[in-house]
Amino acid sequence: MEAALLRKFPLFSSLSADDLQAVAAIVRLRRVEKGDVLFAEGEPGLAVWLVCSGAVKLVKTDSTGREQLLKTVEPQEFFAEVVLFDGGSYPATAVAASEGEVGILYNADACKLVHAHPNLAWHFLKVLSARLRRAQGRIQILCQGDAAVKIAATLLYLAQEKGTDHLAIGQQDLADMAGIARETVSRVLAKLSSEGLIVALRKKITLIDKEGLAALAPQV
């Protein structure tokens, strides 16, 4: 993988030129088609994945067989970091949401890299700690009982995760992430729009009043 492309990922943007080149040398690229399963929930976690182009959906199946969308991973984002250095299983299934290209950083290669570049271990630790805090916030969202609270919390979570108040997400994906019916999402979005908290268009939601949304979900 080219170092210039890797530099676009926030995960690696602050690395020195030498460290960046060392990482780029071991990241393997793969073309994917829409619907391709990159890995399945429960399979051995062998690598951390990077989205170079296209998008990847992370889904989890509950005891009834119902799939819940955890996240849509977009370009310059990474996923499956939970298995880095761990060797555990993948906690969710990754499916290509569109044609694109992904990068694969295998755990075995990452371990060798950290031994050769010890400062990278501290870098990865800081990144993973931040992701863990956001994951805890995600759990709080799913534990909420009120639909409006779930939607407000999910929107705030996505804004923080994506680093923007302009969210490219449709109502069905939002419903899957919040764990509620699409019809309920439609009603809640209409209410939030009427209150001036958001602007909801087709597959695009803009957060206008984040403080107002946070007041609905103060614990997240």
pLDDT tens for each residue of the chain, 220 residues long: 999 999 999 888 888 999 999 999 999 999 999 999 999 999 999 999 999 999 999 998 877 777 888 889 999 999 998 888 777 899 999 999 999 999 999 999 999 988 888 888 888 888 777 777 766 766 666 676 689 988 998 999 889 888 899 999 999 999 988 888 899 999 999 999 999 999 999 889 999 999 999 998 865 5
User: What residues form DSSP beta bridges with 200?
Assistant: 205
pLDDT score at 123: 81
Question: Sign of torsion, CA 165 171 172 177?
Answer: positive
Structure tokens at 147: 């639909």
Q: Rounded to an integer, what is the distance from CA 35 to the centroid of its chain?
A: 18
CATH 3.30.465.10 fits 144-216, yes or no: no
pLDDT score at 210: 94
Q: What residue segments make up the domains of the chain, in order of their start?
A: 3-134, 144-216
152, 192 in Cβ contact below 8 A? yes
Strands (E) across the chain are located at: 28-32, 37-39, 47-53, 56-61, 67-73, 77-79, 93-96, 100-106, 166-167, 198-201, 204-207
Return the CATH fold of 3-134: Jelly Rolls (2.60.120)
Q: How far apart are CA 220 and CA 165, in angstroms?
A: 17
pLDDT score at 202: 86
Residue type, 119: N
pLDDT score at 86: 75
DSSP 114-131: HHH-THHHHHHHHHHHHH
